[in-house]
Amino acid sequence: MHKNVVFRGCTRPAMFLGVPYLPFFLIVGGTFLLSLYTRMWVMAAMPLEIFILRQMARRDEMIFRMLGLKLQFQFKVRNVGDHAGHWVFSPNNYRRTPAPKD
């Protein structure tokens, strides 16, 4: 047996029809509201949406958290132009010589 076993059984997100409930209700609920305000045939896209979300969650149930973190970090980065297109979250400069000015 392993000396230090990490129990990750409680880290799995709550699921609804095989999809974590928050992405499920945001996507399917948004489509439902859109169909109420426009045409009812828009609801025909719901089974396809559920299928796509299920296939994404089948591979990794935490994929929606990872996509959410990626979006959060993309929107927080404001100084991409100052550092040659790299995401920088700290203003520290660890170069021994100053960066060349273009």
Over the stretch 40-95, which tens digit does the pLDDT of each residue have?
899 999 999 999 999 988 888 888 889 888 888 888 777 767 767 777 777 666 66
pLDDT tens-digit map of 11-45: 778 888 888 899 999 999 999 999 999 998 999 99
Local structure of 20: helix, strand or coil: strand
Can you tell me the distance from the alpha carbon of 93 to that of 53, in angstroms, rounded to the nearest whole number? 42
pLDDT of amino acid 51: 93
Q: Which residue has the tokens 């392993």?
A: 2
Contact 64, 23 (CB under 8 A): yes
